Amino acid sequence: MKGIILMDNVIFALDIGTRSVVGVVAENIDNILKVSRIESIFHSQRAMIDGQIEDIDEVSRVVSNVKNQLESNLGIKLDKVSIAAAGRSLKTERIILERDSDIRKPINVDFKNAIEIEALQLAQDIFSKTSNKDDLFYCVGYSVLSYSLDGKSISNIVGHRGNKISIEIIAAFLPHTVIEGLYSCMDNNNLEVVNLTLEPIAAMDLIIPSELRLLNLVLIDIGAGTSDIAISKGGSIVGYDMATIAGDEITECIMKNYIVDFNSAENIKTLLSKDSGNLEITNILGIPQTLKKEEVLETIKTSVYDLCVEIASKITKLNKEPPAAVFLAGGGSKIPFIKEFLSELLNIPQSRIAISNKSSIKNVDLSILDNFGPEFITPVGIAYSVILNKNYDFFSVSVNGTKVRLYSIRQMKVMDAILMSGFDSKKLIGFSGKSLRFNLNGSERYYSGEFSTPAQIYVNSSVANIETTIKPGDCIDVIPAIDGTSPVVRISDIASNSIEGFVYFNGIKVDFGTKYYVNKVDVRDDYIIGNSDSIEIVKIETIKDLVQIYEIDKSFYNFFANGKMADLDYKLCNGYTIDLIKKEEEEPAEEKANVDVEIKSNEEIDLIDEVKTICEEDLYIEVSINDKKVKLPNKDEPYIFADMLNYTDIDPTNPKGNIVILHNGKDASYTNLIYSNDIIIIKWDSDLN
C-alpha cells in the first residue's frame, strides 16, 4: 500500500452486478468527473441472481476485494461509497387522478402539491394491491406527466380556476429487501452509503443528459441477469421497465450446446465479440474441442433474437411508437446480432442504435483508462450522479410521532414524509361547505358554504408547509384540514317569534300565532331547511290576519274584541272573544265575553254559520258511525278504527255474538286509518238481523 492520501473530492462508486462487482474511484474537479481507476472482480459463485443479492457474505467478500485493490493501487482510504439498486427491483405505477375544484378560488401551489400527493398515494395503494403482500416497497420518486383542467391539457394549473382537475403521474418503487441487502454488504465493509441511485437512472444520467430528454430516446442497459430500460420524452424520463433475460441466457445457451461450465461459456461469449478465428475449449468431460466462430454465432442466434424480442416488446408497450434513437450499455450490449435484431423489431435504422463508448459521454475524463467499454457505463454513471448533486440515501424523520424512513431521490420535502407516513392526503386540503338555496314566501334566499381551513404543518415546532425541505431527524406535526361547514338553517332562524294562544272567533275557538309550511306540508319551527325547499310562513297575530285567512270582506263589518270595537290591526290576546257585526246593525253590549253574537237578521245568521263552518273544518273531522254523524276533534295523529269503539255502545268484554266491523262498506281491521267523511259500522251480528 502506498500510504494514505485523504482527498475531500474523492468519489467511490460500486456497481454490484450479477456477474461481477465493479469499483470506480474518481475525483470531482470543477464538476468534471475524472476517473482515476476502475477495478472489476467476478463472483466465484452464483451469489447474485438477476441483479439481486442472494449470498450477502459472498458479495461482501468480493466488495472487500475490490475496495482493497483500489485502496492499494491509489494509496487512499475509502470509507464512503455510492451504490445503485438493480433495475430488476424497480417497479412503476402509472395512474390518472381526477378531483373537483372550487371554481370560486384560483388554484394555488398548496392545492397543486396536495393533488400530486393524493395521486402518488393512489399509485401506492394500487401498487400495494397488485404486488406481493409479503414485500415492503419504498416509493423512490415520481414524475408528473400531464395536467388537465376541465378536460383541457394545461402545463401549469396554478392561478387558474375550474371545476375539475386531472393529473397523470408515474411513480417508482423499490423493495426493501434489495435496499437492506445492499446496505448489509456496505456495513460489512465499514462503508458509509452517501449516495443511492437506481442503475437505469445512473446510466441514463451519463448517456442521455437532461438537455437531450426532449427527444424520444431509449437507453437499454443489458447486464448479465437483467436488461434495464429507460425512456425519455418531452424533457423528462417517462418510463422504466426491465426484461428478465439478458447476457446469462446466451451463456446458458453455449453451456447446453457445448457441454461446458458457466465460466467457460462466459469466456466463449466474450471472445465472440472479438476478431478471433477458431475457439479452443475443453468440455466438462475433459475433451478438447476447436470451435469455429461462425458455428457458435449460429448456435446463439435464436437466443439473441428471443432476448431482443423481450426487450423490444417492453419498449413498444411503454413508448407506443418507434423511438428516435436507442443507446446500448452494459456488457451484454456487445453480444453479436443485438443491433440488427433491435432495428428490425423496433422498426428503426441500425444507424440509430449505438453502443455507448467514450465518445457518448460528456463531462467525464476517461483519459487514464486504456480500455473503456459499455460494461463500465453504469459504474461510472453511479459516480457521476454525485457530480449532479443527486445525493440519494435513506434517512429518518417523524410524522405525528411515528418514525418514517425516506429515500432521498431528490431534496426531500414535508410532502414526501407525509406520503410515506400513511397520512390521508385528502386531509391536507379540506372541502368547502355546500351552499343552500330555498324560496321563502316567494323570494329566493341564498346561504354560501364556508371555505375550508387548510392543514397546519410544523417542522421542529416552526410553521411550515408541504414544500418545506426536511433533513434527517426532523419532527413533523400535521394538524388535518378542517372542512368548511355547510349552512344549517332552521325555520326558527328566519322567522320571528310571535305570541301564541287562542280566541273565540264568532263563537268558534281558533288558535293564533305562526304556522310553517314546507313544500305545502305543515312543519314545526325547528325544521332544518333543505336545498330547493319552498317555505311559507303564515302569521295570525291580528284581526286582519283572521279576516284574510277566512276570506271575509272587511268593508261590510265592524269588529269587536271582548265587546269593544277594534280595528283590523288589533293584536289578538289569549282567550279573547272576537266578533264581527254588519255595519248597519247594532253593536254588541260591552264586555260580552265568551258568548255568541246576538243574531238580528237572516243574513247575519248565514254569515255566522259560514264562519263557523270554515273554522270547524280546521277543528274537527266528521264521520258516520252506525248511521250517525259524529264530529271528532282534530289532532296531530290520525284516528284508527279501534278509536271508534268509544263512540258506540259496543262492550267487547260482554259479547252478544260475533262483532261486525265495516269501513266504507268493506271488512276492516282495528288499525285502519280514519279520515273525514268515512262510513263506519261496528255492531253485533245479532243486531244486523
Query: CB under 8 Å to 651, separation ≥6 — which residues?
Result: none
Segment 88-106 shows an average pLDDT of 81
pLDDT at position 173 is 78
Between CA 583 and CA 557 the distance in angstroms is 5
Going from N- to C-terminal start, the domains of the chain cover 210-361, 393-486, 491-615, 626-688
DSSP 472: T
pLDDT at position 400 is 92
- Per-residue pLDDT band at 6 (split at 50, 70, 90): very low
Q: What is the pLDDT of residues 151-160, one digit of tens each?
A: 888 878 888 9
User: Residue 133: is its pLDDT beyond 50?
Assistant: yes
Greater model confidence, 395 or 149: 149
Segment 434-439 shows an average pLDDT of 89
pLDDT at position 342 is 95
pLDDT at position 428 is 81
Q: What is the pLDDT of residues 636-684, one digit of tens each?
A: 677 888 888 888 888 776 777 788 888 888 888 877 888 888 999 988 8
Between CA 365 and CA 381 the distance in angstroms is 12
- Per-residue pLDDT band at 600 (split at 50, 70, 90): very low
DSSP letters for 416-452: HHHHHHT--GGGTS-PPPPPEEEEETTEEEEEPPPPP
User: Residue 486: is its pLDDT beyond 90?
Assistant: no
Element (H, E) at 98: strand 91-100
Given the candidates 2.60.40, 3.30.2310, 3.30.1370, 3.10.20, the CATH classification of the domain at 393-486 is 3.10.20
Between CA 167 and CA 97 the distance in angstroms is 5
Q: What is the pLDDT of residues 41-60, one digit of tens each?
A: 988 887 877 667 888 999 99
Q: Decide: 634 and 621 in contact? Cβ < 8 Å.
A: yes
Same CATH fold, 491-615 and 210-361?
A: no
Mean pLDDT of the chain: 82
Assign 3-state DSSP to the chain and report helix, strand, coil percentages, each to 5.
Answer: 30, 35, 35
- Per-residue pLDDT band at 14 (split at 50, 70, 90): very high
Greater model confidence, 312 or 635: 312
DSSP 212: G
Count of residues for the chain? 689
Greater model confidence, 564 or 595: 564
**What are the contacts of 471-477 at 24+ separation with CB within 8 A?**
471/395, 472/395, 472/396, 472/397, 473/395, 473/396, 473/397, 474/397, 474/398, 474/417, 475/397, 475/398, 476/397, 476/398, 476/399, 476/400, 476/414, 476/417, 476/418, 477/399, 477/400
Q: How many contiguous H segments (helices) and E segments (strands) does the chain have? A: 13, 40
Among the residue ranges 19-23, 95-99, 418-422, 602-606, the one predicted with the least confidence is 602-606
Residue 29 backbone dihedrals phi, psi, to 5 degrees: -115, 100
**Tally of CB atoms within 10 A around 101:** 19
pLDDT at position 553 is 80
pLDDT at position 306 is 93
User: Residue 115: is its pLDDT beyond 90?
Assistant: no
User: Residue 601: is its pLDDT beyond 60?
Assistant: no
pLDDT at position 598 is 43
Q: What is the pLDDT of residues 281-325, one digit of tens each?
A: 888 888 888 888 888 889 999 999 999 999 999 999 888 899 999
Assigned C-alpha cell, 482: 378542517
DSSP 366: -
Q: What is the pLDDT of residues 397-415, one digit of tens each?
A: 889 988 776 766 556 788 8
Given the candidates 3.30.420.40, 3.40.1390.30, 3.10.20.30, 3.90.550.10, the CATH classification of the domain at 491-615 is 3.10.20.30
**Torsion-angle region of 240 (φ positive above 0: left; ψ -120 to 50: alpha; else: beta):** beta
Greater model confidence, 560 or 131: 560
pLDDT at position 595 is 41
Q: How far is CA 313 from CA 130, 242, 320, 321, in A?
A: 22, 11, 10, 11
**Torsion-angle region of 562 (φ positive above 0: left; ψ -120 to 50: alpha; else: beta):** left
Assigned C-alpha cell, 57: 457474505
Q: What is the pLDDT of residues 487-539, one digit of tens each?
A: 999 988 888 766 678 888 877 788 787 888 898 888 888 899 988 899 888 88
pLDDT at position 606 is 54
Segment 237-254 shows an average pLDDT of 84
CATH class, domain 210-361, is alpha beta
- The letter for the amino acid at 123 is A
Greater model confidence, 162 or 172: 162
In the three-class reduction of DSSP (H, G, I as helix; E, B as strand; rest coil), residue 22 is classed as strand
Segment 345-350 shows an average pLDDT of 94
Between CA 251 and CA 393 the distance in angstroms is 35
- Per-residue pLDDT band at 591 (split at 50, 70, 90): very low
pLDDT at position 88 is 63
